[in-house]
Structures are given as structure tokens and as C-alpha cells.
Structure 1
Amino acid sequence: MSIAMNGTVAPGFEPVVQAFEQAFEGHPAMGAGLHVVKDGESVINLWAGVADARTGRPWTEQTPSVVFSCTKGLVSIMAARLVQEGRLDYDAPVAGYWPEFAAAGKGQVTVGQALAHQAGLSAPRADLTEDDIVDWDRVVTALAEQEPLWPLGTGYAYHALTHGWVVGEIIRRVTGQSVGSYFRGLIADPLGVNAWIGLPADRADEAAHLQVSDPLSALWAEEAAKPAPNWPYKAMTLGTALPADLVSADEGFNKQRIRAAEIPGAGGIATAEALATIWSATVTPTRGVRLIDDGVIARATRTQSQGVSVFGGAPPYSRWGYGFQLDSAARRYLAEGNFGHDGAGGQVGFADPERRIGFGFVTNWMMGPEDQRATQILDALRPLV
């Protein structure tokens, strides 16, 4: 299949164009953007395909899309910035900032443990509905009241969606702003990028329409068939709040009501350029902005959680610092020491401190374990930097 490539690459980065083009093979309804920033300057800016296969609307340079768990990386940047400013302490109890969180035996859970998926709140015990998850106070109240799913200090499990509400409420208590508002003021507006946690109504028609590959749907159907309580499955659906695939034709994260809500575990909306620019600004001045310093990066990227979770699961396993997903067998970046976060269906955003690189890959064609698109792009990029 031949697809029209759009954009530019700096001299020496031409092999990445071929890898990006190969990502579209066999996926005629796919759209995607790829952006790489090095030393604060764009070196790769590519886009192709369709933003909405229902209408044929093309993907453009500024097409934003749901980046799913890449949003956790953005929230972790905000937390790291507050640590840098002395307003937040990874070692302090969450309850010191959010007193209600101490309920049900959670008084000793630290901010760092919450960021590292160790808080025992990976899924809600009570089923949540769509009406619940668009109501910030309702969700954070339920999580504050909930008894942990496992004893503190005995392990971790991926907080697929709840992570964003827990850390986002800590940020709200410290700053007095919602997580979406703080993100806009600290990151999106100063960098001049199209990225939101809570998509404004006047930008709703710009967002890409998401589709799910058959293998990913089959994977979630298999997970749904497991006996209850199936906490990893419920971590994704929250009960009846979201479809098993996270999206359907007009529901889940294809629905503006969901996209407009501040759901910082998975609901960020961004362009590839935005992700790459943000991650670049974590490791080198970019557009006049440096988001976090080297000392905080060193602390925030020490391994906190890795290996098999309290609910089991097969390798390869991811590895996390204080909210940041680190280079691992489950998500290879360019090298050891890189940090960022990937997202459901194939999204990837990260920084490389040594090479002073920010990377963003965003797509509306969601794939599962068979997905090699970003991996092949990174394999092509690695020898060039």
C-alpha cells in the first residue's frame, strides 16, 4: 500500500519516513502523526492518513487525538514540577494534602506510592457510570472513601484510569486549580501546543475519530470473560462507565462528553507535535520553556514498580518511576534513562535526556500486542541520533 506522506524531515533523518510509511500497511482507515524534537528544534514532522474514516476527513499537521495513558506522563510532569518548587513531597502522605484520603486505612499512602501505582486503588470497588466519571468530585470522593484492594506495601497494580484522579486531586489540593487548568497554564499555553486535559467544545470537531483493531477487541473480550472480581478489567471499564474497548463508534473516548471531562488517567487530547514538544521541554529548553530540572528527573525516574503485579499477568512487564513509564521490555524507547508514557492503542510520548530528544507518535487506529508501529519507528530513529 502506498500512502501520501506529508511533512518535513531534517537531513539525515530520512530513514524514519520509510518506517512511518510502513506503519500504515494494511490499515487503510488509519491516521497518524509523528514528531521528533532534538535540542529544542523540530527534526521530524510527519502526518498521513485519515482523521475520520467515516467522512474521509484527512489527518493534518494539527489533528489532535486522544492519547490515553500518555496523559499519565503529562500529569507526572506536573507533579514533578511541584516537587521541584517545594510544594509537593514524594515521601509525604497523600492525606497531608488531601485529608479525606486517609479513610479506610490509607493514611500512610505516600504521594510517591500513589504515582507508582502502589496505592491499592487500581479499580473502584463500586461500579461507576458515565455520569459518575464526568463528575470530578464524585469520583475523587469515592476513591478517598475506598478501602485499598491490597495491603499497602505488598506490591503494585496498574491504575489505568484511577491514577489520574488520585494524582490530579493531589495537584488540585496543592495548586487550587483543576488538573486541566494547571496543565494549560504550566505547559500547553507557554509552549503554544494543541494539548488539553478536557477538550474545549470549540475544538471538538478537530479531534480524530478512533477505531479499534480486531485483535485488540478480541483481547478485551477474552479479559471480559474472566470471572469476577476481575480487577485489571474493571480498571479499564470502571464498571459500566466505558466500553470494554474504551471506544465504540460514538461512545467512550469517541464521545465529546467524555473528551470534555478532565479524565487525567487517559483522557488527554494532543497532537504529535504537542507531545514531542512537551517532552523535549522536560530535558532541554524548548520554545523558551524548561519544565523540570535534572535533579528532579533523576529522582522521579528511579524505579519504583516493576515485574509481576499483585494480580499476576504475563511478561513483558513495564517499569515505573514516580508516575513516569521507564524504558523496559514492554516499552522500548531509544535508550535506558528515557522516560515518558505510552497509551492504549499505540500512542507514545517520551524524553531522552542524554540526546535531548522529545518524541510523539499519535494514531487513531488502536492496536493491541501485535502493534509494532512505534517500535519500528524508534528502531529506525535510534542509529540516527
Structure 2
Amino acid sequence: MHEPEHHASPAPVIEGHCDPRFGAVRDAFASNFRERDELGAAVTVQIHGETVVDLWGGWADAARTCRWERDTLVNVWSTTKGVTALCAHLLADRGLLDLDAPVAAYWPEFGAAGKEALPVRHLLSHRAGLAGLREPLTLEEFYDWEVTTARLAATEPWWEPGTRSGYHAMTYGFLVGEVIRRITGRLPSAFLRDEITGPLDVDFTIGLPEKEADRAAELVHPRAASAGEQAAVFAQLAPAAQAALANPLVGAAQANSPEWRAAELPAANGHGTARAVATLYGVFAGRGRSGDHRVLSEQAAERAREGQGACRDLMLGAGFAHDTECALGLWLSGPNSSYGPNPRAFGHDGFGGSCGLADPESGVSLGYVMNRMGPDIADDPRKMALVEAVYAAL
């Protein structure tokens, strides 16, 4: 949907806490509203587990009738993937999942169509060649876990697995998530709640319980984009990229719906606060620790950022002027500094702008969430302004 035009809107009230040392982050956050068309947003920065920035402001709806509150939740799109990866790494750390074992060892049906030897690490690193389904997928089918996972198990890869990365925008959650389900008997949302967010008291869910709907911000398309314009762009993509990014085509309207919120979409429908995102990505930044809790061993936390080979991503290459490198469920900052100047920092962006960041060397974790979606798949200017301000203050 398009937001109604507002002329001479008052500057939003920014609330929360910011350590004086990180005043530049507050300034960048305020500038996002003045200069980068922010509607409602929140940012949290933790250094070695200590919260030094926790800010929120703006509006939770397009009509600007509801202010963004401390506990406002928002769909963070693919920032969810880093949280789903955390679940997989927890299973690997417990000896229940071997990242080098064939996926079919856990999910026998997956061995069809020449995939019998495809290892789990290819799912995490977007190198499985299963970026999308060839046959059209309706929204109703997409929301059906059994239907979508069965089709993925039966399909053949678009390219030779392991040779290149190609962003599995929506299928990632079903692929990694079904491995989690086969091992634990629980869908990723339940495993996350029982094993991670519950014990850590973190306000983040895959999907959104109906009882929390009143806390959810309304996602808003960029002013310059509409569903029709978005579809026209996707129509120009190669078949594999169309399958990955537009089968089915989803945007703000779908993500605001009860059906989306009720579905199990571990690639794209995580809902949380910036505080929650910073805490979850903080497990990686803390080398496996979150406060007094050890979630992962140091070895498991380090393994999450093992690069799997830099290349021009087969699905996203046209949108980047540089190679990128996926680790095991997250992306390395690399020479383009997507997650700050440390090339070994890592994280994940969400469609439209959100971000989770982990930098073990500096102890930084960051969560940024917002409801006005920008046009970028990654490295949204609002996020980059915040990241740059954080590192300038260190």
C-alpha cells in the first residue's frame, strides 16, 4: 500500500537510551527520519553484551496514528535467516546435526532428483541450487509447510550444487527448517522458542502469535514502488531468479496479513524488536555467550562465519557491483563493509532495510528494524548510516 502524503509532518520523538559516547548513532538515527524517509524504526547496539544504544521513534502505521513504542514488533524479512541459522548451529553444537552429512540422511525424501549427496552446509550457504521452485507456487501453497517442503524435496537443482551461491530468498527457511524439524520433531518456530528465545527472554518469534498482533507495526512499500512496478522488475529476471524472488511474489501487503503472520516462514517472517535482533545476533558476537548464558560453544559460534567462497551471487548479482561471500547462514562483511570495517564481521539484512550484525572482534552486535521498506535487497542507506556511526564511535 502507499502511504498518504504528509506535508510538514512534525519531527518524530525519539525515545530510549543512548550512551553519550555513541551520540553519533542517535544523530544518524534522527537523520534517517529527516533525510531518508524513515517512518518508524528502532536500533539497538550492544558492546560485549552491554546495551549502549536502544532507540525507537516514528510511527507504527502508514496513517501516522500509532507511535512506535518500546515493544513494537515488526516483520524483519530475511534478518530472520540469521536466527534460523542459529537454531541449526545449536543442533550441530549438540552433535545432532553434521553440516557435512547429506541432507537426505535427515530428510530421506530430499535425495530425489540427484540430490542424494548434497550436504547440509550447501543449504545454509545458498549453494544448493534450490533457490526457487520451477512450477508456480500460490500463496496458499507457500503457506503450507508440507506442500512446499515436499515440492523442494522432489525438485532438481537449478545449477550444480556447491559451485556458486544463489540467494535462496524464501526456500532457505523451508530447507534448513525441515532439517531442524526432522531432527527435533519441532518446527523452527517452536525449537527457537523452547531452546533460545524462551531461556534468553528475547522478544522474537518466527511468525506472529495472534495475541501479539496489536503490537505489530504495519509494513509500508517505498513511495516509489508498487506491487505492479515490483512485478515488472522481476519479470525481467532470468528464470531461476524469478523462481527465487517472485514465486510467489510477496511484499508489504502480504506481510501485513493474518495468513502471513500465521505461517511458518523461517526465511522471512520473523517478528521482533531491534533489541531482540541485537541480542540474538549478539550470541555470534559474544562467541556463543549471551549474558550469563552460553548458547553455543566458541567453536560453533566461529564455524557460523566460515566463508563458503566469494562470487557474484547468481540471484542477486545484478544488484551488486561486487562479489559477496556467504558463510553458514549469514553473510560476511567482506571488502564492501556491509557489517562494518572488519571483513570478518557478519550478519544478515532483511528485504527493505532491517539488519542484524555480529562482530566478535569488537564485541559489537546491532539490530535495526523499520516499517517503511526501502528498495534495496541489502545495504540500505539507513542501515549503513547507523553501522558507520557505531564504528566511528569505537
Which TM-score bucket, shorter chain as reference? over 0.9
Q: Please, what TM-score do these two structures have when normalized by structure 1?
A: 0.92
CA–CA separation in structure 2 for the residues paired with 1:236 and 1:64: 25
Is 1:290 paired with 2:300? no
- What CA deviation, in whole Å up to 9, does each residue of 1:19-73 have, x standing for no partner? 0001112566710000011222211010010001235111011111011111110
CA–CA separation in structure 2 for the residues paired with 1:253 and 1:330: 29
- Kindly state the Cα deviation for residue 283 of structure 1 after the two structures are TM-superposed: 3.4
| Mapped contact 1:318–1:331 kept (Cα < 8 A) | no
- One-letter code of the match for 1:269? H
CA separation of 1:258 and 1:374: change in aligned 2, threshold 3 A: same
Name structure 2 gaps, 5 residues minimum. 1-9
Aligned to 1:124, which of 124, 129, 133? 133
**Counterpart in 1 of 2:56?**
47
**Counterpart in 2 of 1:309?**
313
CA–CA separation in structure 2 for the residues paired with 1:237 and 1:353: 35
- Kindly state the Cα deviation for residue 219 of structure 1 after the two structures are TM-superposed: 7.2
- One-letter code of the match for 1:4? V
Q: Secondary structure at the match of 2:255?
A: coil
Percent identity among equivalent residues?
A: 36
Is 1:133 paired with 2:133? no
- What CA deviation, in whole Å up to 9, does each residue of 1:185-206 have, x standing for no partner? 1221112121100210101121
Q: CA RMSD in A?
A: 2.0
CA–CA separation in structure 1 for the residues paired with 2:380 and 2:358: 21
**Counterpart in 2 of 1:234?**
243
**Counterpart in 2 of 1:350?**
357
CA–CA separation in structure 1 for the residues paired with 2:341 and 2:67: 30
Is 1:327 paired with 2:333? yes
- What CA deviation, in whole Å up to 9, does each residue of 1:123-178 have, x standing for no partner? 11111111112211111001001111112233221000100100000011111111
**Counterpart in 2 of 1:300?**
304
- One-letter code of the match for 2:118? V
| Mapped contact 2:312–2:322 kept (Cα < 8 A) | no
**Counterpart in 2 of 1:203?**
212
CA separation of 1:139 and 1:207: change in aligned 2, threshold 3 A: same
- Kindly state the Cα deviation for residue 374 of structure 1 after the two structures are TM-superposed: 1.1
**Counterpart in 1 of 2:7?**
none
Q: Secondary structure at the match of 1:309?
A: coil
**Counterpart in 2 of 1:12?**
21
Q: How does 1:147-226 map to 2 (within 5 A)?
A: 147-215=156-224, 217=226, 220-226=230-236
Q: Please, what TM-score do these two structures have when normalized by structure 2?
A: 0.90
Q: Which moved more, 1:45-54 or 1:214-223?
A: 214-223
CA–CA separation in structure 2 for the residues paired with 1:219 and 1:330: 30
Q: Secondary structure at the match of 2:96?
A: coil
Q: Secondary structure at the match of 2:168?
A: coil
CA–CA separation in structure 1 for the residues paired with 2:120 and 2:354: 26
| Mapped contact 1:32–1:47 kept (Cα < 8 A) | yes
- One-letter code of the match for 2:264? E
Q: Secondary structure at the match of 1:68?
A: coil
Q: Secondary structure at the match of 2:21?
A: coil
**Counterpart in 1 of 2:252?**
247
CA–CA separation in structure 1 for the residues paired with 2:225 and 2:361: 34
- What CA deviation, in whole Å up to 9, does each residue of 1:320-347 have, x standing for no partner? 1111111132723352221221111110
Q: Name the count of aligned residue pairs.
A: 377
CA–CA separation in structure 2 for the residues paired with 1:188 and 1:298: 21
CA–CA separation in structure 1 for the residues paired with 2:368 and 2:324: 19
| Mapped contact 1:334–1:352 kept (Cα < 8 A) | no
CA–CA separation in structure 1 for the residues paired with 2:127 and 2:290: 33
- What CA deviation, in whole Å up to 9, does each residue of 1:198-250 have, x standing for no partner? 210101121110111144559734523316x53223312323xx43xx223xx
- Kindly state the Cα deviation for residue 317 of structure 1 after the two structures are TM-superposed: 3.6
- Kindly state the Cα deviation for residue 363 of structure 1 after the two structures are TM-superposed: 0.4
CA–CA separation in structure 2 for the residues paired with 1:118 and 1:225: 23
CA–CA separation in structure 1 for the residues paired with 2:111 and 2:20: 55
CA–CA separation in structure 2 for the residues paired with 1:233 and 1:384: 41
Is 1:267 paired with 2:269? yes
Name structure 1 gaps, 5 residues minimum. none
CA separation of 1:253 and 1:305: change in aligned 2, threshold 3 A: farther
